[in-house]
Amino acid sequence: MSLYVSTIWESARPKFLVLAPICVGVSLAYASAQNIALSHTLAILCILLALCAHISVNLLNEYQDAKSGLDDSTVRTPFSGGSGALQKNPQALDQVKTAGLLFIVVSVLLGISIVMLVGSDTSRIGLIILGLVGVMIVGTYTPYINQSALLCLCAPGAGFGFIMVVGSYIALTETISLNIILLSLALCCLVNNLLLLNQFPDAKADARAGRRHLVVQLGFKTSAFIYFLNIILSFIIIAWLIYAKVLSMAALFLFIGLPLGLLVAFRAMHFHDDKLSTFIPFMAMNVLLCLLVPAGIIVDLILSA
């Protein structure tokens, strides 16, 4: 039993689960900066929902990639190629699938609880729509979304950046605003880049397995250029939010991340899978950028409230 639990835990990729509460934290911080009284119960439910949804997509992705044999042919890195848990313990395949489905069910139940606690009918409808889209992304990401370059590029940002940020804000405030949408779009670009760059080392194995994501379809240079555009767009949005006084002038420190993002984009344009070890530090920079920029936004919103 302990071996199965350990495999499920590793397959959930626990080191990367911090992204979900950070995304919800942006909504919490922005709502607090507006002096809106927040329900602690709703805040906790939103964080739990985000975590459960993240765990479910990780588990189902590990299950499907192990079942298809894809993770047997990838070159594993700390950021791509799967956790390796099911390669060490393949008899836990069905348990990982069951755990992934269970976390979807828990996510749905948490979503229903949030909808029931929200007073506005309009907000309830908005949350139900976002929730249904979120469940669809979780359930179809590996088997179907990976077959479309555009959907595969946008799905991670839509799930983490838009649904988690905007959905949490609607649940907490029963309103929506252009500023929270812009904050979510800045995160969308960063999260899209997180998954996009992590697909570089797996491109050949993914192509053999029939995946048709952006890197497979358009190649490394074009994908790196799209990574570059995402970085630029994210920081343009942040600059606008500073100009509009949503973020304080102190948030200019976030632009320390811009040259890092440009450096990663430049390195990605010259990616060679036979020199993968030299690419891993840039993948690490990409993860840090995706986590530290929204964390910096949270800090700025809290301190400037």
Provide the pLDDT for residue 286.
96
The confidence score (pLDDT) of residue 232 equals 98
How far apart CA 123 and CA 282 sit, in angstroms, is 40
Nearest to 237 by CA among 278, 173, 188: 188
Two structure tokens written together for 288: 């840090």
Query: Which residue stretches of the chain have pLDDT < 70?
Result: 1
Residue (of 168, 163, 171) closest to 134 by Cα position: 163
**DSSP letters along 220-270, please?**
HHHHHHHHHHHHHHHHHHHHHHHHTTSS-GGGGGGGGHHHHHHHHHHHHHT
Write down the pLDDT at residue 1.
58
| Sign of the CA dihedral running 276, 279, 280, 281 | positive
| 177 token code pair | 């605003």
Q: How many CB atoms lie within 10 A of CB 273?
A: 14
**Is domain 2-303 given the CATH code 1.10.600 in the classification?**
yes
b/e sequence 113-136, b meaning 16+ C-beta within 10 Å: ebbeebeeeebbebbeebbebbbe
Position 193: which residue type? N
- The CA–CA distances, whole Å, from 112 to 109, 127, 139, 242, 278 equal 5, 9, 18, 35, 46
- What are the phi and psi torsion angles at 83 (to 5°)? -80, -25
Q: How high is the pLDDT of residue 210?
A: 82
Global pTM value: 0.93
> Are residues 58 and 12 in contact, defined by beta-carbon separation less than 8 angstroms?
yes
d(CA 165, CA 224): 26
pLDDT of residue 44: 97
The answer to whether the CB of 183 falls within 8 A of the CB of 26 is: yes
Are 196 and 223 within 8 A, CB to CB? yes
**Count of Cβ atoms closer than 10 Å to residue 153 Cβ:** 25
Task: Please report the pLDDT score of residue 302 as a whole number.
Answer: 93
- Asked if 54 contacts 181 with a C-beta cutoff of 8 angstroms, the reply is no
